[in-house]
Amino acid sequence: MKVAVVSDIHANRHAFEATLEAVAASEASELWCLGDLVGYGAEPDACVELAREHAAVCLAGNHDMAVTGEISLEEFSRGASVAAQWTREVIDPDNMAFLEALSPQGEESEIGLYHGSPRDPVWEYVLSALLAELCMNQQRNRICLIGHSHVALSFARRDGELATGEPRRAGTRLDVAEGEWLLNPGSVGQPRDGDARAAWLLLDLDAMDATFYRADYDVAGAAAAIRAARLPDSLAERLEYGQ
Ligand code: ZN
């Protein structure tokens, strides 16, 4: 089975639709989402509805949990907090109920799924080999999928060596048949790795390889929607830079 993995949609319908189109054209038979359907962007209902329609598995991210009230907004930046409060006001009750039922961690086909990390499914950003090492010491599954940092990357540990890893560009294919792995598809709706395109990952559970992809989307359309909703301008601007 091939699985398309997405994360951090952040209410960016333009980016999510473009990603779903690319996924449909791939050989993926399932879509797994690692959380943060909402927050930052202007179209939370459309994105939750697309996830409800297409995702076989969906985790809760910290932004989803802030919108449902499960966690407080105290640790959020101003822009994130404003967008979360706005989302609470506008989101459809059915979509809110869907978010309330999600968990920040899960397991499918022996793959560990976490929004943040195996150590802290809600908050931890795994951006260094040291943190990856600490996560691997704790993770129960040989391969774990993580989101949250909005950076497409992988970390691996083989033969008792220390974990190593790096950000991954579109087109990179990794053989994950051996070793321990943390794989982050990157963010669909607000990439922060300098590539403005929507990020996703294709995981082949038979061949045991993982391929990183990017999808072009209408960035200007998503930015215009953020401005029309009167959300902070910085949230529109950063989409253009992929930061
Ligand atoms: Zn996020």
Ligand 1 centroid distance, CA of 34 (Å): 9
Ligand 1 centroid distance, CA of 133 (Å): 22
For residue 130, what are its two tokens? 């040291």
Domain at 21, CATH number: 3.60.21.10
Ligand 1 centroid distance, CA of 1 (Å): 27
Task: Kindly report the number of other CB atoms within 10 A of residue 205's CB atom.
Answer: 18
Q: How far apart are CA 175 and CA 83, in angstroms?
A: 39
State the pTM of this model. Answer: 0.97
For residues 217 and 17, is the Cβ–Cβ distance under 8 A?
Answer: yes
Ligand 1 centroid distance, CA of 161 (Å): 30
For residues 183 and 132, is the Cβ–Cβ distance under 8 A?
Answer: no
Domain of residue 42: give its range.
Answer: 2-241
Ligand 1 centroid distance, CA of 56 (Å): 20
The number of distinct structural domains making up the chain is: 1
pLDDT of 160: 85
Ligand 1 ion: nearby residues, β-carbon < 5 Å: 8, 36
Residue stretches of the chain with pLDDT short of 70: none
Q: Is residue 177 exposed (0-12), middle (13-18) or buried (19+ Cβ within 10 Å)? A: exposed
pLDDT of 143: 98
Ligand 1 centroid distance, CA of 208 (Å): 27
